[in-house]
Structure 1
C-alpha cells in the first residue's frame, strides 16, 4: 500500500466540512495553548520585518545564496535546517509596506527567495501564484485501531523492528502522575532546557502556570530507566483525543539522549491513549520540510499529516537557470499547499524517474495525508525537458523541465494537469 495516499476521513470531506474542521482545530489550539493567543495578535498587527541575503553551504555540501524577507517567525529554523554554515552578506531592517524595494534590489543575487511574511498577508503577496506556498507547520496525528495489536500494525516496519526492540532492551517503564511537585520539576529541569536546545530563538515557551494546569487536568508521563527519569511529557485528553503538549529531558541527556528514550515516550503515550479508550493521538506540530527530523520521527509512528495546525505559509521561489537553486529543491522536498490539499513536491536532477526511483522516494518520505506527489524531472541542460518523460499515474505526476525553466514548474501550478 502506498504511503503517499489521500487520508480517507479528510479527502472525503466537502469544503464546508474542511472549513469547519479547521475552525474547530483553531478553537482547540487556543484552548490548549491559550497563552499563545498574543502571538496571533502580533502576526496580525506587527509590521516590522527584515530582508537578509545569506550565503553559505547547505546541508549536503552545496553552496547557496538565499534571500530571506519576513517577520522572523521561522528565520532561525531555516538557518538551522537548511545551512551547515552561512553568513549574512547584507541585512536590512524595514517594515512590511517597504520591504519590496529591498527585495527587488537583492533578488538578482539570490539562488532562492523565501518570504516569511506570515498570516494574513502571505496570500495577498502570492495572489498571482509566483511563489510555492508551504505551510510553516503541519499537524501530525494517529487514529488508533480497536486493539493494541492492530495499532502496532500502523507503525512503520522499521519502528516495529527496531524501536520497539530497543525499548524492551533498555528496560524502560512509564509512570503517569498529576502531582504538582513533579510537574514543577518537569518544567524547570526538563521542559525549559529541552525547548531551549531544540528550538533556540524560535522557542515559544509555555508558561509554568499553563503547563501545570494542563498536567493536572491530564497527566505527566515519566519514562524511567531503572530509577532515573530520562524523558517526560505532558499529555491532555480532549474530545477523545490525547494531545502530546510538551516534552522534555534532563539537561545532561539532551545532547546524547539514552537510546530510544523519546521513542519510549511515544510508545507509552500511545498505549496510555488506548488504555483510556481514546480514539486518536495528536502529536501536534511538525515542519513541512519532508526531511525534517521531527516530521520523519512522527511519521514512523503512523502519524498522518494534516494541514490544520497553522494558517501561515512560507513562500519559496527558486531562480531559473541556477544549478544551486535546483540542488536546493532536490535536497529539501516539501509538502506544499496546492488546490486545497497537501502535495509532496520533489525534484530529480539528471536522474531517471522510473518505478524504482519512485518506490525509493515513497519508502523514504511517504506519509499518509499527503494526497498527491509532483516530481520535477530536471535535466542539467539549459533547454526545456523532454516531454516524453512526463506522465501522470494515480496520485503521482512527473513534469519534465530543464535548468532554464524548472523553477516555473516547481513554484507555480504545473501545466500538466491531474486527471
Structure 2
C-alpha cells in the first residue's frame, strides 16, 4: 500500500455533465473531511478504451464515470462498483394523518408533537402568484445558497411556476402565524402522487433547521396528503450516498428507496479504484455507497480494513434496500 505526504485524492470524472452537480460536491466534501488534504483534485480526461483496458492510472486514485446502465455493467469488474446515478425515496399514504404519524418511531413522534406545541406549527396552502414569489425569493433561493454555496442547483423561476405551482401545491409551515418554511410540490398520476420538488426556510436561516421547521415541512405535507386523496409522496431524487444528511433525515419517515422513474432510470455511476493509498482507504471507509447488484437490486456497501472499522453508524437500511454488506478493502484492492 502506498502512503505519502500528499493525501489529496485525485478523482477523474467522466460522463454526464449532471455528475458535476449531483455527485462531485459530496465527494469533495468527503475528501476534505476524511482524507486530510486541502481539497479534491480533479484529474484530466481519459478515453473509453483506456477505461476498458484499466489504464487510466496513474492519472487518478478514483475513476468515477456517469454513463448508461448497459455501459457501466460492461466495464471491468475488479476493484469497482456500480451505483445508481440517482435514487428516489417515496412514502405510501395509508389512512389518515394519525395513521401516518404512527409510521415513524414513537420517540420521533413524541419529539415532533412537543415541538409542534412549542412553535404552534400550522400548515398553509399558498394559492396566489405572490405566494410563489415569496417562497421562491425569500425561502428557496436563500436556502440553496446557504446550504450549497457555489454548488447550488435549482429550478428556473418561470419553470417552477409552469411545471410545479400550476400543477401542484405550495405548502407553508407557519410558526405562530409567521411563514418560516415551505415546499413546492407537483401533483402527478391524476393527483394521487405528490412529488416534493423545491424546499426552503425563511431567508435560508439555519435557525429554522435547528428549530425543527424542516421536519415540520415533512410531517405537515404527510398530513395534507392524507387529507387530499394522495396515495404516495415522492420525496424526489437523492444521491446514492447514505452518509448525506438528507438521506439520514428522510430515513426517519421509513420511505422506500427505489430506482428513479425519470430519465435517470437508465443511468449509472461506475466507480473504480486506481491506486491503493491511505487516502483512498480513508475515503472509501468514510463513504458508504448504494450500489446496484447483478439483479438490479439496490444494495448498501460499507468498506473496512484492519485499521478502519466499517461506518455502520451511517445506516442505509430502508425499505427497498435489498441488504447492507461490509467489504474488506484488502480483498477488494488485492489486484492493485
Specify the TM-score bucket, using the shorter chain as the normaliser.
0.7 to 0.9
Change in 2 beyond 3 A, CA 1:229/1:208: same
Matched, 1:168 2:117: yes
**Structure 2 counterpart SS, 1:181:** helix
**2:317 touches 2:324 (CA, 8 Å); kept in 1?**
no
Counterpart of 1:192 in structure 2 is 141
- How many residues are paired up? 314
**Structure 1 counterpart SS, 2:321:** coil
Picking from 217, 226, 229, the partner of 1:265 is 217
Q: Structure 1: how far apart are the matches of 2:207 and 2:269? A: 29
Counterpart of 1:330 in structure 2 is 285
Counterpart of 2:300 in structure 1 is 344
Counterpart of 1:230 in structure 2 is 180
Matched, 1:149 2:93: no
Deviation at 1:408, TM superposition (A): 6.0
Picking from 233, 236, 257, the partner of 1:305 is 257
Q: Structure 1: how far apart are the matches of 2:258 and 2:42? A: 37
Counterpart of 2:13 in structure 1 is 69
Change in 2 beyond 3 A, CA 1:249/1:56: farther
Matched, 1:372 2:316: no
**2:140 touches 2:204 (CA, 8 Å); kept in 1?**
no
Structure 1: unaligned runs, 5 residues or longer: 1-54, 58-62, 379-401, 410-419
Change in 2 beyond 3 A, CA 1:203/1:79: same
Q: Deviations over 1:321-349 (max 9, x none)?
A: 54443332322111101121101111243
Picking from 41, 45, 57, the partner of 1:104 is 57
Deviation at 1:296, TM superposition (A): 0.8
Give the TM-score taking structure 2 as reference length: 0.80
**1:190 touches 1:249 (CA, 8 Å); kept in 2?**
yes
Matched, 1:286 2:238: yes
Q: Structure 2: how far apart are the matches of 1:208 and 1:89? A: 33
Tell me which of the two structures has the higher relative contact order, counting C-alpha pairs closer than 8 angstroms and 6 or more residues apart. 2
Q: Structure 2: how far apart are the matches of 1:241 and 1:231? A: 22
**2:143 touches 2:205 (CA, 8 Å); kept in 1?**
no
Q: Deviations over 1:231-258 (max 9, x none)?
A: 1111222121111111112225147635
**Structure 2 counterpart SS, 1:87:** coil
Change in 2 beyond 3 A, CA 1:89/1:80: closer
Give the TM-score taking structure 1 as reference length: 0.65
Q: Structure 1: how far apart are the matches of 2:145 and 2:74? A: 33
Q: Structure 1: how far apart are the matches of 2:239 and 2:89? A: 10
Q: Structure 2: how far apart are the matches of 1:151 and 1:195? A: 29
Picking from 169, 185, 196, the partner of 1:219 is 169
Deviation at 1:136, TM superposition (A): 3.0
**1:230 touches 1:258 (CA, 8 Å); kept in 2?**
no
Deviation at 1:369, TM superposition (A): 0.7
